[in-house]
Amino acid sequence: MTSLRLTSLHVRKFSTPQSVDERNALCFGNRPSHPAPVRTVMSAVCRLWSRRAAPVSVAGARSFCLGLVRMNRASNDRSATVNLTYDVFDGKGEKTPLVFLHGLFGCKSNFHSIAKSLVQRTGRKVLTVDARNHGNSPHSPILTYEAMTNDLQHLLSQLRIGKCVLIGHSMGGKVAMTTALLQPNIVERLVVVDISPAHTSVHTNFHTYIRALKEVKVTGNLPRSTARRLAEDQLRKHIKEHTVRQFLLTNLVEQNGDYAWRVNLEAISNHMEDILNFPEFNQCYNGPTLFLGGNNSDYITSEDYPEIQRLFPNADIQYIPDASHWIHADKPLDFISSIITFLQS
């Protein structure tokens, strides 16, 4: 197995904070006494709080207002919770199950071979999950990380899984991070695969992918192999990478005699900025965390280290040599070994 290269990031170990200031330092890091204005438009309640509640600090008012905004948004998203489809690979052990979350345009089958191997090598139960608007899960016009987190919590509650190890790739990694930050009690350990809590548009061609998929026209009553070939010929004009075309083509399905994309392209397009961004948090997740990047990928860079350390103070960052953004596909054995080592640490 190719050895992993540990970055120069040194994670500070904090003792249990005894005061409000110490708790703020733990989760917020060293910040100015007057933080920058909140990006989200504050409600009237927040404005009144900020102006009239003199005894409350600026940081306290900001946290209160962000909390109201997040609670309101989470409440709206929760009302649209969908029942996610999933596959279970049963292990004989009693340890905490592993839950895999795929990336944008992906599906639960992306991790099937990885899941089977981990069941054999760890004895743990493994779940692979289809996100809303992906795979066989229901479609919804809403596609935010809060909504996807609520979907996941709903699924885990239905399955009576009180605690799990969350492993998320790309978009799924942001869902995993959001879940850990909002509901740390259900996340025993966290693995974030080739993504960071930062805006990722500089790395992506997702807008191009959506336009290309929308332009594909394939008539019904054709053999699946022929339909895929015709679709790929049309995608080739806009998407030069063969591996990307093959990945996107996994979403071509036959429905009522016609071929269509099973991903909800409208919802993805309408929420692309939500997907590329990451929610703002003032709390941190203190559980064991592994950020696993591909050495040939630039989704996790040194510029992301401070924010990773602020939100996940017990995080390690590792890179797998000769791996791109799709680490689990490029280097499956190294990927599996990294997860097993992390579980045993």
**Catalytic residue list contains 33:** no
Residue whose structure tokens are 């345009």: 105
Residue ranges of E strands in the chain: 5-6, 86-89, 98-101, 126-129, 164-169, 187-193, 252-255, 258-261, 289-294, 315-320
Catalytic hit among 102, 134, 271, 325: 325
Would you give the DSSP letter of residue 184? G
Among candidates 182, 248, 259, 174, which has minimal Cα distance to 212? 248
State how far the Cα of 172 lies from the Cα of 106, in Å rounded to an integer: 9
Strands 315-320 and 289-294: parallel
The number of residues in the chain equals 345
Q: How many CA atoms lie within 13 A of 25 on its CB side?
A: 11
State how far the Cα of 255 lies from the Cα of 209, in Å rounded to an integer: 21
Catalytic hit among 117, 170, 196, 338: 170
Catalytic hit among 266, 269, 324, 337: 266
**Catalytic residue list contains 266:** yes
* Encoded amino acid at 222, one letter: L
In angstroms, the Cα distances linking 342 to 43, 185, 231, 338 are 42, 19, 41, 6
**Catalytic residue list contains 112:** no
Let me know: does 151 contact 180? Beta carbons within 8 Å: no
State how far the Cα of 254 lies from the Cα of 71, in Å rounded to an integer: 40
Tokens standing for residue 124: 């743990």
Which H, E and C letters describe 214-259, residue by residue?
Answer: HHCCCCCCCCHHHHHHHHHHHHCCCCCCHHHHHHHHCCEEEECCEE
Residue 317, classified by CB atoms within 10 Å of its CB into exposed (0-12), middle (13-18) or buried (19+), is buried
The residues carrying an active-site annotation are 170, 266, 325
